[in-house]
Amino acid sequence: MKGVCMKTAKIVVDPEFRIGRVDPRLYGSFIEHLGRAVYGGIYEPDHPAADDMGFRRDVLELVRELRVPIVRYPGGNFVSGYNWEDGVGPKEGRPRRLDLAWRTIETNQVGTNEFAEWARRADAEVMMAVNLGTRGIDAARHLVEYCNHPGGTYYSDLRASHGVKRPHAIKTWCLGNEMDGPWQIGHKTAEEYGRLAQETAKAMKWVDPSIELVVCGSSNRGMPTFAAWEETVLEHTYEHVEYISLHTYYGNPDNDLGTYLAKSLDMDAFIESVIATCDHVRAKKRAKKTIDLSFDEWNVWFHSRESDERIEPWSVAPPQLEDVYTFEDALLVGCMLISLLKHADRVKIACLAQLVNVIAPIMTENGGPAWRQTIFYPFLHASSYGRGSALALRIESPRYETKEFGAVPFLEAVATVDEEAERLTVFAVNRDQEEPLLLDGDLRGMEGYEVLEHLVLESDDVKARNTAKHPDAVTPHSRGDAAVRDGRLRAALPRLSWNTIRLGKRR
């Protein structure tokens, strides 16, 4: 882009500006018994690519490509009406149930043991949710015993009789889902949920003291219960849990791209508000323990809402929440990934919701192909290269005006450093709709680093999508021009682009 007069954004990269270690679980995801996430997504026994258990090998390959370390299961709204016993034992004896959350029929052909095996084949851990909507302490403690106890008790021996002798050893557990939402089966007040979660947590940890627990925060930042809910729930559960959950989804129904790409600023504020509430309760309790965050549902979700209203009720695995993502969606997902990394000191778990077909980076056709959606690529780059420690950048960027957020910087960026591997990665989004942005980086304290690769995701069409017929309409390239000269990183970030600049130390 020589000869083009560009706006300039300056950053300072310094190893002393350390935010915290990036927990690998920051790149987690979510599979719910919803739509075609399970049936027709990860599981399709009649598919040509099905393995010995009916799991699609092509989907497994794409999941492993994303390096997803943990997957939340089985819900979501679904879990609040789920009897886990329906999904274990001989398949021919499993009941077909009405799923009230999504008004479908659940066949229970995939349950706890099948999903745990799928996760093993995907190189991922299971993040198991328990039903605190229609059920409670007993069902939760029995499920922990079934999954984690080695043997010699009723539920551990029941697991062994189902062909699974070794325990699943599931470490991370969610205490229900979105319990302040009126749409939730078994919706509760903060006091009701806080007491139930406290007693359930105690019993679960008495069965297995090694587990970690996630308590439900508000369903989203816009809930009238937000913040007061978190405070009340944590006052009950602070001593018994390790994490509190956050959920958020963003959309662009008004087709205002400038505001849409600034939605990650709302995500930043949401995270910081929950941290403040956690620390407020910590101060009130004079506690030494710190509660961290599990952002276990986040994504873009708005494309499919109209079509979902026309779904025939009580069908099996209908196409629900199947957002077909655009290039502009990928840019916002990139900004949201940067938000998570900017709070890596407190956000330890995050789950892109969801993983296959349902608001997902991976799409499939029943009996047909699987392909990568546009949002697959920022997640892939962050999961592949955003390891080690997150670094806060000192950023000076020109800005643009929005109705909702006021002045918004064109540059959104963060860096990670893996000192053992001597790798530095800068993730950057240029929100400018008209022009490229010159990135001028001061590599303070990062002497000897050179650019290994500059990956760019860009498109002339912000509405471009990847489909079964055109799976590569939006894909990244490695023709970025980033280079280090005289201790400064220079790069031209194309207009509306996601950039992954990988640096390594000269040997």
Q: What is the mean pLDDT of the chain?
A: 97
Q: Of the given ranges (3-7, 120-124, 163-167, 445-449), which has the lowest mean pLDDT?
A: 3-7
What's domain 23-385's architecture?
Alpha-Beta Barrel (3.20)
CATH superfamily of domain region 7-16+391-505 = Golgi alpha-mannosidase II (2.60.40.1180)
pLDDT tens-digit series, residues 354-407: 999 999 999 999 999 999 999 999 999 999 999 999 999 999 999 999 999 999
pLDDT at 341 over 70: yes
pLDDT at 136 over 70: yes
Domains 7-16+391-505 and 23-385 share a fold: no
Q: Is the pLDDT of residue 283 over 80?
A: yes
| SS3 at position 505 | strand
Task: List Cβ neighbours of 306 (8 Å cut-off, separation of 6 or more).
Answer: none
pLDDT at 2 over 80: no
pLDDT for 11 equals: 97
Q: Which of 262-266, 326-330, 415-419, 441-445 has the lowest mean pLDDT?
A: 441-445
> What angle in degrees, to the nearest 10, is found between the helix axes of 190-207 and 137-148?
30
85 contact partners, CB below 8 Å, separation of at least 6:
none
- Is the model's pLDDT at 1 over the cut of 90? no
What is this structure's pTM? 0.96
Q: pLDDT tens digit string along 262-272?
A: 999 999 999 99
Percent of the chain topping pLDDT 90: 96
Taking residues 92-119, report their average pLDDT: 98
359-to-102, 416, 488 alpha-carbon distances in Å? 15, 27, 39
Q: Is 434 exposed, middle or buried (0-12, 13-18, 19+ CB in 10 A)?
A: exposed
Cβ–Cβ < 8 Å for 325, 306: no
Q: Which pLDDT does position 506 carry in this prediction?
A: 84
Question: Which residues are designated catalytic?
Answer: 178, 297
Q: What is the pLDDT of residue 217?
A: 98
> Is the pLDDT score of 29 beyond 70?
yes
pLDDT of residue 5: 65
- Separation of alpha carbons 405 and 355, rounded Å: 30
pLDDT above 90: residue 309: no
- Report whether pLDDT(502) > 90: yes
121, HSE (Cβ side, Cα atoms, 13 Å)? 21
Residue ranges per structural domain of the chain: 7-16+391-505, 23-385
Nearest Cα neighbor of 292 from 233, 189, 213, 220 is 213
The answer, yes or no, to whether residue 97 has pLDDT greater than 80, is: yes
Q: Report the pLDDT value the prediction gives residue 6, as an integer from 0 to 100.
A: 82
The pLDDT value given to residue 117: 98
Q: What is the pLDDT of residue 4?
A: 56
For residue range 42-90, what is the model confidence (pLDDT) as tens digits? 999 999 999 999 999 999 999 999 999 999 999 999 999 999 999 999 9
